[in-house]
Structure 1
Amino acid sequence: MSISIIGCGIIGATIAYELSRWQSLSVRESNEYTIDVYDACHKPASAATGAALGVLMGIISQKVKGRAWNLRRDSIRRYQTLIPELERATGAKIPTNSQGIIKLLSAEDDLIKWTQLVSTRTEQEWQLELWNARKVVTQLPQIDRRFTGTAAYSPQDLQVDPVALTEALVAAAQLNGVNFHFDRSIESITADRPQSCDLLTPDLPIITSDWTIVTAGLGSTSLLSPHAAIDIQPVLGQALQIRLPKPLGNPDFQPVIVSEDVNIVPSGNDYWVGATVEFPVDGVVTAQLECLERLKQIAIATCPDLAQGEIIRTWQGLRPRPNQRPAPVIDRVGANKRILVATGHYRNGILLAPATARIIGDMLLVNGENSQ
């Protein structure tokens, strides 16, 4: 059986790695298969993944049931084993912040709703706490001392370097026999035959595959247009990196801080600050300098000593957001149902990658058994 994956951001790389584990786990003992991953860029994580901050808001999310919660829950569980598993396999260190996420609640936040969420998470056997202002400024002395509100603390949520994670997934998948093809564009997919799909490229013969998985983010719309009307729209995100002489506050407790939907991510003496949500205007997405300045001002208002730092880098990226349907899109498309799509994760691509890979794997297993 041959499987082709189009796109090597975090979603494509995670699917490739998880599928590559099938043989070692004896999931498909009777069926030899190959996995090929194609990406138009020259290296993995070159698009939306490379611009992400890697803040995994699972437990602290207000989602408590249904698909949205299940995806978050399953991914956080898998991350607990996935990161050490990849580090053992590749020998690479994946930068990770496992000290949790602190969300500063505003006066507009419903404390009753947050109290109920803490109770729900306890019933679900997850940790979530509400801190009063005194505890916040005691535990996080970098916070503005005038803070008088409440905060939610999720010690089991985490942050991971998206590029390092994706590169480790690729390396581990290669060790398991996956073939990666960079600088390789796929122009279209045909699925006229019941047992396979054909991938068309500008410079190579037709690539025939038993199964095709589209994880191409913003490129998914054109690839899937003959088979399904899946409209993926770009939403711009911007971020900046501030360097200080030393870490803020307690160097032994450096969680991610979220204030007014802005993430402050510690990384040694550096702090990543992001990200904006900038929608297209008349179909055009243009970075707004005032949005980047707003990020900076919110970060400084939250942690005043950030004003003493130097901005050493700014960056931006386009997030793939499904138009008029929930994110993400994980489905079967095409007349022969041999095209699978996992795209449009919007702001949660890093968070939801493991659960997405599991769903795609289940689809392949079910469809593979039915087709034999």
Structure 2
Amino acid sequence: MGTRVIVLGGGIIGLSCAFEAVMGGAEVTVVEPGRVGGQASGAAAGMLAPYTENGELPDAFFQLCLDSLHRYPEWVRKIEEVSGQSAELTNCGSLTVAMHEADLQPLQARLAWQQRFGASAELIGQERLRKMEPLLHGGAAGALYCPTESHVHAPKLVAALEAACRRLGVRILEQAGAIAPPRAGSGGRVDAVVETAAYGSVSGDVLIVCAGAWANTYAALCGFPIPVHPIRGQICSFDLTGADDRAAGASVSHMVFSSQAYWVQKRDGQLVCGASEDAAGYDTSVTDRGIDRLTRWTPRVFPFLGGRAPAMRWAGLRPATRDGRPLIGMVPGSPNVLIAAGHYRNGILLSPATAAMIGDLLIGVAPRQAEAASFAPDRFARGGRAVTL
């Protein structure tokens, strides 16, 4: 029998770590207080856009995001092969639209350094932009086109990953209710036993904390603060499957980013628009104020949607840290406790790379120095900062 691994949290990160662990021969149990994929994972737009969304500098975080993008095709292939379900990985490329001439200069600066990291990007002018996305506002000055960025259908990826885990023998305990984690005993050793309201005691050899926006509740287990807090992300979608839209050929071929929102069309014809963010504690309700900001901005980029009400609207809690970087690694002094949490807006993108790091730790392979420093779970307790490469 292999190592018994308990994964605390059934979001995309927890399921990814469970999939990696069971593929490595471990006996895995996922404990989820509510529904698998019920928070940030199921609410995400599923964009895989490290160049666009992390465009400031080539630090260790950007490198991790880029590594994860490169892992995605093979990772999804394995999940789909085991589960028999599609995650709808779509290699469409992205357009970061500049509505004014002045907006092109920062895009040029970003392009200069990202080319060194395989972006294969280029600045395109108005005429070519109109050909690539005819429904965009005709007054847009240009765009940064990045052909290597992709997206998945987040709820379908979560469903496929859950199905793959189950088929491989992962025990998934949903609706477990309140979870009482173990506390460190003498010498810092933790007995891998958690108490659940619905299932009683669950025991193992290793704990992996993948609790998303609730990771801070495990600070006592780890022995240091875990400054992860929830940020509510509100998203809506426009239905482009109606007769009028089909007759007009209404379709958005690329992921489109602006300074205020993004749009990505899924294979079912839903044009997802996001995201409005606010600090609302653990409140997942959808507000008119949050969605109205998206619906006001949308016609400025896509005039054909002027006056159109969203077909759907939803919200999820994104687990944010103070520096925007995740916590990935071993708890110092407790080699049988690992953390993978605080991925904020990048949980979908970072799933394969995070799982690979956790998989290495499970077999005793230490992370690279830059990764260890940048994503160390205890870095806030000791004043650590992200490392620039």
**TM, length-normalised to structure 1:** 0.86
Alpha-carbon distance between aligned partners in 2 of 1:155 and 1:166, rounded to the nearest angstrom: 25
Alpha-carbon distance between aligned partners in 2 of 1:179 and 1:280, rounded to the nearest angstrom: 33
Q: Is 1:232 matched with 2:228?
A: yes
Provide the residue aligned with 1:51 in structure 2. 43
Q: Is 1:290 matched with 2:286?
A: no
Q: Is 1:134 matched with 2:140?
A: no
CA change 1:109–1:317 in 2 (3 A) is: farther
Q: Shift of residue 3 of structure 1?
A: 0.7
Which region of structure 1 is more displaced relative to structure 2, 217-226 or 133-142? 217-226
Alpha-carbon distance between aligned partners in 2 of 1:286 and 1:169, rounded to the nearest angstrom: 26
Provide the residue aligned with 1:271 in structure 2. 271
The answer to whether the 8 A contact 1:59-1:128 is kept is no
Provide the residue aligned with 1:340 in structure 2. 338
The answer to whether the 8 A contact 1:98-1:157 is kept is yes
Provide the residue aligned with 1:6 in structure 2. 8
Provide the residue aligned with 1:197 in structure 2. 192
Alpha-carbon distance between aligned partners in 2 of 1:254 and 1:289, rounded to the nearest angstrom: 28
Provide the residue aligned with 2:24 in structure 1. 22
Q: Shift of residue 310 of structure 1?
A: 4.5
Q: Provide, for residues 262-304 of structure 1, a one-character-per-residue CA deviation record: whole Å limited to 9, x for no partner.
A: 11111243211111111248x9887542231110111111111
Q: Shift of residue 77 of structure 1?
A: 0.7
Alpha-carbon distance between aligned partners in 2 of 1:37 and 1:219, rounded to the nearest angstrom: 15
Amino acid at match of 2:185: D
User: Any residues of structure 2 matched to 1:74-85 within 5 Å, and which?
Assistant: 74-85=67-78
Amino acid at match of 1:80: P
User: Any residues of structure 2 matched to 1:89-104 within 5 Å, and which?
Assistant: 89-104=82-97
User: Any residues of structure 2 matched to 1:359-370 within 5 Å, and which?
Assistant: 359-366=357-364
Alpha-carbon distance between aligned partners in 2 of 1:111 and 1:5, rounded to the nearest angstrom: 45
The answer to whether the 8 A contact 2:192-2:207 is kept is yes
Provide the residue aligned with 1:125 in structure 2. 118
Which region of structure 1 is more displaced relative to structure 2, 119-128 or 9-18? 119-128
Aligned residue for 1:213, secondary structure, equals strand
CA change 1:142–1:110 in 2 (3 A) is: closer
Q: Provide, for residues 128-153 of structure 1, a one-character-per-residue CA deviation record: whole Å limited to 9, x for no partner.
A: 12111221122211011122x22111
The answer to whether the 8 A contact 1:191-1:338 is kept is no
Which region of structure 1 is more displaced relative to structure 2, 254-263 or 284-293? 284-293
Alpha-carbon distance between aligned partners in 1 of 2:347 and 2:253, rounded to the nearest angstrom: 24
Q: Provide, for residues 5-36 of structure 1, a one-character-per-residue CA deviation record: whole Å limited to 9, x for no partner.
A: 0111110111111222224xxxxxxxxx3111
Provide the residue aligned with 2:237 in structure 1. 241
Amino acid at match of 2:20: E
The answer to whether the 8 A contact 2:182-2:190 is kept is no
Amino acid at match of 2:238: I
Q: Provide, for residues 220-271 of structure 1, a one-character-per-residue CA deviation record: whole Å limited to 9, x for no partner.
A: 1112334221022111111112123236986786111112241111124321
Q: Is 1:221 matched with 2:216?
A: yes
Aligned residue for 2:318, secondary structure, equals strand
Amino acid at match of 2:361: M
Alpha-carbon distance between aligned partners in 2 of 1:198 and 1:176, rounded to the nearest angstrom: 23
Alpha-carbon distance between aligned partners in 1 of 2:310 and 2:176, rounded to the nearest angstrom: 35
What is the percentage of aligned positions where both structures have the same residue?
A: 25
The answer to whether the 8 A contact 2:218-2:226 is kept is no
CA change 1:55–1:68 in 2 (3 A) is: same
Alpha-carbon distance between aligned partners in 2 of 1:91 and 1:18, rounded to the nearest angstrom: 18
Q: Shift of residue 46 of structure 1?
A: 0.6
CA change 1:195–1:39 in 2 (3 A) is: closer
Provide the residue aligned with 2:369 in structure 1. none
Q: Provide, for residues 92-119 of structure 1, a one-character-per-residue CA deviation record: whole Å limited to 9, x for no partner.
A: 1222332111111354966455334434
Aligned residue for 1:264, secondary structure, equals strand
The answer to whether the 8 A contact 2:92-2:253 is kept is yes
The answer to whether the 8 A contact 1:190-1:199 is kept is no
Q: Is 1:312 matched with 2:307?
A: no
Q: Provide, for residues 22-70 of structure 1, a one-character-per-residue CA deviation record: whole Å limited to 9, x for no partner.
A: 24xxxxxxxxx3111110123x211111111111211333154232112
Alpha-carbon distance between aligned partners in 1 of 2:234 and 2:325, rounded to the nearest angstrom: 20
The answer to whether the 8 A contact 1:86-1:172 is kept is yes
CA change 1:117–1:146 in 2 (3 A) is: closer
The answer to whether the 8 A contact 1:2-1:34 is kept is yes
Unaligned runs of 5+ in 2: 367-389
The answer to whether the 8 A contact 1:99-1:155 is kept is yes
CA change 1:152–1:338 in 2 (3 A) is: same
Amino acid at match of 1:5: V
Provide the residue aligned with 2:386 in structure 1. none
Q: Provide, for residues 154-188 of structure 1, a one-character-per-residue CA deviation record: whole Å limited to 9, x for no partner.
A: 11111111111011112112222222111113222
Aligned residue for 1:59, secondary structure, equals helix
Amino acid at match of 2:77: P
Provide the residue aligned with 1:355 in structure 2. 353
Amino acid at match of 2:356: R
* Length, aligned pairs only: 355
Which region of structure 1 is more displaced relative to structure 2, 353-362 or 247-256? 247-256
Unaligned runs of 5+ in 1: 24-32
